[in-house]
Structure 1
């Protein structure tokens, strides 16, 4: 989520400070006072503008994959999506890691689950379901199958993010980009097309 262009300067300053601090330090190690200091505002304004530290975290740690990542022919979506993930900017990586580190908090866990549903499962489901009747899709999906395939696809992507960004699997990190895109893309494609 991004702020509206007409948001007050103090709210924009809080949002940017919080996004940076949460990404660098995590949810638990970032205080409202630190955010206010970074934003050069009174700490009371943080609560006035965002309601709570948790709400501010959820608003600033929102990953927007974008519809373009799911566009194109269904039969090559796996490789294209893995290439997109590998090319993701540091902001997406930082937000993903901040969300993961904060996932033991009930409110944050709920947000993380919703982000998974809205950012990965729903767009994959929509894309898979839209391929029904597409001669390029060898296994057209009914709605239950589209949901299963979307959840499997999201899990495949999540596994890659975890391996690369959390445990920093050196074996994967040292593969040539094209090899990783091709081989991991084939795993994702198998989930997408069944």
Structure 2
């Protein structure tokens, strides 16, 4: 009986070790891809950052591309598309400005993926995530003609905020918080969507206007 118990404990320990190693590889990959992009990041860099042999990356993930896909697959805040419609843009901007993306080097994963935009797979993912997450939701809110165009313009504005903050690091925007942007969010979102929009998010779930 003790032999069976020892075997079970040994297998459980091996599983925990594999999971811990896999988690370290993902963490190192997120930071490397965010800072340097896909092409400039090597498997050896990630393995060295994780303190493991590079062969483990292929054992756990199959390829560098599959590691990239998993490392950059972020779960957006659960409440992003929930809550009052007039606060949607404010919630979207908050994910760029105030959300904790420290595991991605402090950047929104979408901005981090832009560093890999020379890679065709990355471009497709960026296009898909921007359209599915942002453009479609904003288009459904827009009133009047050219809803798709206005939704894309507003999405471009929000992506631009992320780029200027973390890639270009323009001084005023890099230091600004969501509260600082609130009146401008309201003005731009209201103008482009053709309906009253809020610049802030009420933490109690009630609409809060600036």
Q: Same fold (TM over 0.5)?
A: yes
Which has the higher Rg, Structure 1 or Structure 2? 2
Unaligned runs of 5+ in 1: 1-5, 130-138
Per-residue deviation, 1:18: 1.3
The equivalent residue for 1:168 is 169
Q: Describe the shift of the 1:122–1:47 C-alpha distance in structure 2 as closer, same or farther (beyond 3 A).
A: farther
Per-residue deviation, 1:148: 4.3
The equivalent residue for 1:22 is 33
Aligned residues of 1:150 and 1:191 also touching (Cα < 8 A): yes
Is 1:55 aligned with 2:66?
yes
Aligned residues of 1:14 and 1:35 also touching (Cα < 8 A): yes
Unaligned runs of 5+ in 2: 1-15, 196-210
Give the TM-score of the pair, scaled to structure 2. 0.66
Distance 1:140 1:186 in 2: 17
Distance 2:176 2:57 in 1: 44
Aligned residues of 1:21 and 1:35 also touching (Cα < 8 A): yes
Per-residue deviation, 1:56: 1.1
Structure 1 stretch displaced more, 76-85 or 94-103: 76-85
Aligned residues of 1:23 and 1:94 also touching (Cα < 8 A): no
Is 1:102 aligned with 2:116?
yes
Question: Residue by residue, what CA displacement relative to the aligned partner does 1:14-65 show, whole Å, maximum 9, x if unpaired?
Answer: 2222123223333233211122233333322212322321221122112332
The equivalent residue for 1:12 is 23
Distance 2:55 2:94 in 1: 43
Aligned residues of 1:22 and 1:30 also touching (Cα < 8 A): yes
Aligned residues of 1:64 and 1:119 also touching (Cα < 8 A): no
Per-residue deviation, 1:187: 0.9
The runs of at least 4 aligned residues of structure 1 exceeding 6 Å deviation read: none
Q: Describe the shift of the 1:17–1:106 C-alpha distance in structure 2 as closer, same or farther (beyond 3 A).
A: same
